[in-house]
Structure 1
């Protein structure tokens, strides 16, 4: 009897310990293939062999089952408006400054906003003249977005490369 209780104790200890080590390895997976790629603007992870995935939604919670738990960021694509006037940004690529040229007589309430690729607002200013010079001297070489806005309505977005 004493011998069988020792064996039972050993078996229970083994399963508890192995279960605990599996919890510690929760971020690992055994699959046939997979990889992870990352650069300055995006990252991609993929895995072959996932049998089932599912996303369940409640009133205040979302549960996602699967190898990859994503951080999904949606970006709206605005429809192209017929403005009746032109908005140009040049030179692109640029080094020190950018000219924003708007062929409209009245620029009431028009402004530009300069963002980095992470969506951080770097600078904004009212547009008071048909040609506005925007300084890029203090910015590191990268890609930036300039949004032209009139009365809280986005008119045009430019992707500007600073060399």
Structure 2
């Protein structure tokens, strides 16, 4: 009986202690303008929100920023109009920029992401026949062909 009370007492006391324990793979102390100690490999962590800031104890948060650039990248403006919406028989894609005629292709997807039809936008006003498709919501994706 004394063993049960002892085990219960130890569990009860450790429940109310605010001690931290962890299994860490590495750690050290860092100093500069202030001091900090850190560990790597925490299994548990506690976030603290104070004064519009967030401190996450026990989690190493790294940020890596990379700048990608391409000197040959040219910004091209393409204005397309699709109408009528809603429709039951055809969609008209109106391309106002003559430079892109014949260089644009499209796939049409249903709401589940299944490819339904695809084709080329060859004229200023290209008609896409959708009479054979069931009623629903569809997504039209227009991309420039690799020419």
Q: Give the TM-score of the pair, scaled to structure 1.
A: 0.41
Higher Cα Rg, which structure:
2
Q: Give the TM-score of the pair, scaled to structure 2.
A: 0.45
